[in-house]
């Protein structure tokens, strides 16, 4: 049995919290793959990013097949589920709770969290709604966004996020930013190996 660890952000670029439902969905998709024994989340700390660890049988499933399946699973989830992050002006707790309750009732919204400090996080089903609709609802229901900032709108067709003037700001899109290590987003090791890199990925790329 071998293990492949992959940075979650490389598979789910919009997800920055391991408690996000898409992380569990990803783990379940991977665990259901023939040749995979189990998959689980490894929480990051400090400079160490969040990772997903996949235990697999190399006699049944090759490393390249598993890596490709993981990328496809992440892309499938990204195409179906959107994640909107906004920053509003600070507000009273009661107002934050009221906005959260209303956003949660929008068709297609799966989860909403609005904090008094102004941070807003919404997970939604792309087949039922979109970021523009949710932004409009937030504005109608009292979320005050700084006018000098920009917001970012999901653009799944181009695999990135497009800037638009107006309301709020999302966390920066790091998909095109240089990584600390080119190969640092994944490694493979056997069950008997230590915590460091194992035998490499074996495909020479």
Cα torsion 197, 71, 16, 176 to 10°: value is 90
What is the model's pLDDT at position 45?
A: 84
Distance CA 56, CA 33 (A): 9
Q: Which residues contact 204 (CB under 8 A, 6 or more apart)?
A: none
Question: Tens digits of per-residue pLDDT, 181-196?
Answer: 334 456 666 654 544 3
Ordered DSSP codes for 71-84:
HHHHHHHHHHEEEE
**pLDDT given for residue 84 in this prediction:** 93
State the number of CA atoms in the 13 A half-sphere of 177 facing the CB: 8
Least confident range of 21-30, 88-97, 171-180: 171-180
Higher pLDDT, 167 or 79: 79
Task: Give all domains of the chain, ordered by start, each with its CATH number.
Answer: 2-79+176-190 (3.30.70.100), 88-165 (3.30.70.100)
Q: Is the pLDDT of residue 31 over 60?
A: yes
Given a cut of 90, is residue 58 above it in pLDDT?
yes
| Token code pair at residue 17 | 């919290």
Mean pLDDT of 36-57: 93
Give the pLDDT score at 139: 86
How do residues 92-139 score in pLDDT, each as one tens digit?
999 999 999 999 999 999 999 999 999 999 999 999 999 999 999 988
The span from the CA of 83 to the CA of 130, in Å, is 10
Q: Exposure pattern of 39-75 as b/e (b: 16+ CB <10 Å)?
A: bebeeeeeeebbbbbbbbebeebebeebbebbeebbe
200 or 21: which carries more pLDDT confidence?
A: 21
pTM: 0.67
């Amino acid at each position: 049995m071998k293990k492949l660890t992959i940075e979650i952000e490389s598979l789910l670029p919009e997800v920055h919290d391991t408690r996000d439902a898409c992380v569990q969905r990803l783990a379940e998709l991977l665990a259901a793959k023939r040749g995979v024994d189990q998959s689980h989340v490894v929480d990051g700390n400090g400079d160490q990013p969040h990772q997903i660890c996949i235990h697999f049988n190399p006699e049944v499933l090759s490393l390249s097949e598993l890596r490709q399946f993981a990328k496809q699973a992440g892309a499938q989830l990204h195409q179906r589920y959107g994640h909107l992050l906004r920053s509003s002006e600070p507000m009273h707790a009661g107002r934050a709770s009221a906005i959260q309750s209303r956003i949660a009732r929008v068709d297609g919204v799966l989860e909403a969290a609005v904090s008094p400090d102004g941070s807003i996080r919404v997970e939604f089903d792309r087949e039922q709604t979109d970021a523009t609709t949710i932004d409009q609802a937030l504005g109608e229901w009292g979320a005050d966004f700084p006018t000098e900032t920009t917001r970012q709108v999901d653009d799944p067709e181009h695999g990135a996020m497009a800037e638009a003037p107006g309301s709020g700001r999302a966390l920066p899109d790091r998909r095109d930013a240089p990584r600390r290590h080119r190969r640092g987003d994944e490694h493979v090791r056997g069950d008997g190996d230590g915590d460091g890199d194992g035998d490499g990925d074996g495909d020479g790329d």
